[in-house]
Amino acid sequence: MLTTPRGLLPHIGLFGCRNAGKSSWFNALTGQERAIVSAWPGSTTDPVEKAYELLPFGPVLFVDTAGLDDEGELGMLRVQKTRAVLARVDLVVLLVSPGGVRDEDRVVLREARERGVPHLVLVNHCDVERPAHDVLAALQQEAGRCLTVSSRSDDDVAEVRRALLALLQQPAGEPAPVLVGDLLAPQDLVLLVVPIDISAPKGRLILPQVMTLREVLDRDACALVVKEQDYAARLARLDAPPALVVCDSQVVQPVVQQTPDTVPLTTFSILMSRFKGDMVQLAQGAGSIRRLLPGDRVLIAEACSHHAQDDDIGRVKIPRLLARAANGPLEVDVVAGRDFPDDLSGYQLVVQCGGCMVTRQDMLARQRQAARQGVPVTNYGMAISVAQGVIERTLACFPAALAAYRQAGQQR
């Protein structure tokens, strides 16, 4: 739990109106007095997060949120933050009063259903007031399974934990996302080309590289990790060609030039596009890059915050490559962390990072927003491959994505 990146932890969000008992349940479920509990409405302002080992499932991240019915100018900002949390969680826990469900609660239920996110409804404060039979029956018909509980009851806390475990362990509606495992067979050899430059973290690999290496090993395949300057020599010394080559996007052009066409090749960032998002939609967005014109607006979106260096990939390298593809300067905006504009309509393209530090739901929420507003979206790796003229090569392992890219490229 201490070393698992938060982007890989299932996020469990607690939602409800003010004084529904969200913070009390947050503290009860995590076993710590982490969130402020008060009878005064609106005690929770910003989302509060806590990683927790929910055995036997494993580590999860609980998120406490502000009330859905908060009021005033500041209250509306708090509600916006709560809605942003709703877009990125993997499991929704909705706290309602014994009096029944409110319109604000229905919004949460509707969005959870639309996204296919499992949800659990807790009728809280039942140590003080029991819901009327007709109210509970109507709520069960509207929301599905409901538990009548109190956060002060150890038995109720244990029951809620069991319910959460059951929801987390249910088979998802779609197959679990993979990085690379479905491309490999046991004993296959994978070459991982990893540059160690000024932007590389000291003493470790970056997360997409670590995740790929682990999945190769989980598949009972073998990995050979090399730096880009050693790649050609190592490749030539192999008795048989590798089953796959995965390289950093920043060295994709020379690696493609040095790799036989018969050897499958892609990049870490493109692998992340299928693990964290909708790869086909991102490939469609990549197909729009060739339609960029000088003066077009492009949004570069990073999911984490970091100190930008002189040749930063998001702020310098990708804008430079896109300007070259557009045959002229572009108007580029950069956002980082959880800052993401509500209105994307003024942009001709959104280029999202690989999203290694956020959840898949978070990435999909951004993609859905772009799709609703008719704005193409792609990711760093695909954008670089397009600009370097190697996208057909790096998408060849993924026929559906390649077809989507080609189709988008034919549009005018």
CATH code, domain carrying 299: 3.40.50.11410
What is the C-alpha to C-alpha distance for residues 263 and 253, in angstroms, rounded to an integer? 15
Reply yes or no on whether the pLDDT at 378 is more than 50: yes
Question: Of 169, 200, 235, which closes a domain?
Answer: 169
Q: Is 201 helix (H, G, I), strand (E, B) or coil?
A: coil
Q: Are residues 197 and 261 in the same domain?
A: yes
The pLDDT, as a whole number, for residue 133 is 86
Reply yes or no on whether the pLDDT at 119 is more than 50: yes
pLDDT > 70: what percent of the chain?
A: 92
- Cα–Cα–Cα angle for 190, 285, 195, rounded to 5 degrees: 35
Question: How many domains are there within the chain?
Answer: 3
Q: Are residues 156 and 12 in the same domain?
A: yes
Q: Compute how many other C-beta atoms are within 10 angstroms of the C-beta atom of residue 234.
A: 15
Q: Which two tokens stand for residue 337?
A: 């962390």
Q: Are residues 251 and 281 in the same domain?
A: no
Tell me the residue type at 264: P
Grade residue 42 by pLDDT with cuts at 50, 70 and 90. low
What is the C-alpha to C-alpha distance for residues 301 and 322, in angstroms, rounded to an integer? 15
Check residue 32 and report its DSSP letter: S
What is the C-alpha to C-alpha distance for residues 151 and 276, in angstroms, rounded to an integer? 34
Q: Compute how many other C-beta atoms are within 10 angstroms of the C-beta atom of residue 239.
A: 5
- Which whole number is the average pLDDT over 201-206? 81
Q: Are residues 30 and 151 in the same domain?
A: yes
Domain containing 307: what range?
277-410
Residues 6+ apart with CB under 8 A from 151: 21, 24, 25, 27, 28, 124, 157
What is the C-alpha to C-alpha distance for residues 142 and 101, in angstroms, rounded to an integer? 9
Reply yes or no on whether the pLDDT at 290 is more than 60: yes
The pLDDT, as a whole number, for residue 224 is 98
Residue 115 is assigned to a structural domain of this protein = yes
Residue 1 is assigned to a structural domain of this protein = no
> Is residue 373 a contact partner of residue 343, using CB atoms and an 8 Å limit?
yes
Residue 328 is assigned to a structural domain of this protein = yes
Residue 81 is assigned to a structural domain of this protein = yes
Q: Are residues 100 and 53 in the same domain?
A: yes
Residue 176 is assigned to a structural domain of this protein = no
pTM of the model: 0.85
- Which whole number is the average pLDDT over 132-137? 84
Q: Are residues 263 and 391 in the same domain?
A: no
Q: Is 392 helix (H, G, I), strand (E, B) or coil?
A: helix
- Which whole number is the average pLDDT over 35-48? 61
- Which whole number is the average pLDDT over 358-377? 94
Structure-model confidence comparison of residues 243 and 7, the more confident one: 243
> Is residue 138 a contact partner of residue 113, using CB atoms and an 8 Å limit?
no
Residue 175 is assigned to a structural domain of this protein = no
Residue 199 is assigned to a structural domain of this protein = yes
- Between the two ends of the chain, the Cα-to-Cα distance in Å is 48
Q: Are residues 113 and 21 in the same domain?
A: yes
Lowest mean pLDDT among 4-8, 115-119, 309-313, 365-369: 309-313
What is the C-alpha to C-alpha distance for residues 262 and 277, in angstroms, rounded to an integer? 28
Residue 174 is assigned to a structural domain of this protein = no
Q: Do β-strands 48-54 and 58-64 pair in parallel, antiparallel, or remain unpaired?
A: antiparallel
Residues 6+ apart with CB under 8 A from 346: 297
Q: Is 230 helix (H, G, I), strand (E, B) or coil?
A: helix
- Cα–Cα–Cα angle for 164, 170, 172, rounded to 5 degrees: 120
Half-sphere exposure of residue 187: CA atoms within 13 angstroms, side-chain side? 1
Residues 6+ apart with CB under 8 A from 225: 192, 194, 213
Reply yes or no on whether the pLDDT at 388 is more than 70: yes
DSSP codes of every residue in 90-134: SEEEEEEBTTB--HHHHHHHHHHHHHT--EEEEE--TTT-PPPHH
What is the C-alpha to C-alpha distance for residues 117 and 69, in angstroms, rounded to an integer? 22
